[in-house]
Amino acid sequence: MDNAVEINKYSYMDKYQKKVNFLTPEDNIPKLVSKVRVFNEENKVKYINLIDEKILTIYLNSQEVLTALTVCDYPEYLAVGFMYNQNIISSKAEIKEVEFNQELSAVVVRTSKETLFEAQNVKRIKTSGCAMGTVFGDMFNKIKPIPKQNFKKYAINDIRNLVKEIIGLPSLYMEAGAIHGSVLCERDQILVYMEDVGRHNAIDKISGWIVLEEIDPTDKILYTTGRLTSEMVLKAISMGVPILVSRSGFTKSAVHLARKFNLSMIGRFKGKRFLCVSGFERILL
């Protein structure tokens, strides 16, 4: 396979030639968007930009783990983030190499020793995520409540400014639509912005970025354009991010989990309006 990266040699960001503190979809727009001819309601020809979906197969050593529908812009981050969020791997130290073959559309995560996932038959749970989200049973053994001690405070105006900046950035959504975005932020700046056809894929890419770049997530804000379901909440908790924000709504199960695991969750965040459904003690009005 090509594009192999030995984890301990250098940062993944070297491969993408971007600064570690700011990664956005802008550079990927030309290669992920195609013009397609359509007819409108007046029977006139128009050319519009569309995103293409690709099939990516993810392997753990020699075992197939998942086949995903994705835009396939950062397959290594997606594979590592998915495995981390599902408790298949627990740290960067376990990873020996990550290898992507563009021709086969396959990515292999190699570990230094056999994992529990390979040694036992792990139960899969079909979720409400776009493009057939999947949760493995072992994921629930990983998540722990976010500590309540020493709560850091986050001003709602700072969050609002971050959302305004995110909305103004060049993105696949602005270019073609039909895609979800997830953004990891400091309280005063954007760190990484990922997009994909499935909202769970976008978050998994951020999780992979956190793991491979060895970023501390415990004081970060995670913003997503997608609705907040139980799967999204579980991923945020698994990553250790204390605040989850979305412009969309949420399910009752998501609210229950956010409260149970001390996640500050804000939904329907548009303009000056928002609903904080859990962890309000972290928010400063």
Q: Is residue 76 part of a domain?
A: no
Q: Which of 39-43, 67-71, 140-144 has the lowest mean pLDDT?
A: 140-144
Q: According to the model, what pLDDT value does residue 120 have?
A: 73
Give the CATH number, domain containing residue 274: 3.40.140.10
Q: What is the pLDDT of residue 54?
A: 94
Structural domain containing residue 165: 154-284
Which pLDDT tens digit goes with each residue over 176-220? 999 999 999 999 999 999 999 999 999 999 999 999 999 999 999
**Per-residue DSSP letters for 238-285?**
HHT-SEEEESS-B-HHHHHHHHHTT-EEEEEEETTEEEEEE-GGGEE-
Asked if residue 57 belongs to a domain, the reply is no
The one-letter amino acid at 239: M
Residue 237 located in a structural domain: yes
* CA quadruple 21, 24, 26, 30: dihedral sign: positive
Residue 8 forms part of a structural domain: no
Q: What is the pLDDT of residue 143?
A: 84
Per-residue pLDDT tens for 20-50?
Answer: 457 889 889 999 999 999 999 999 999 999 9
Average of pLDDT values for 129-139? 52
This prediction has a pTM of 0.87
- Residue 202 in any domain: the answer is yes
Is 75 inside any structural domain?
no
Residue 194: CB atoms within 10 A of its CB come to 29
Number of domains the chain is built from: 1
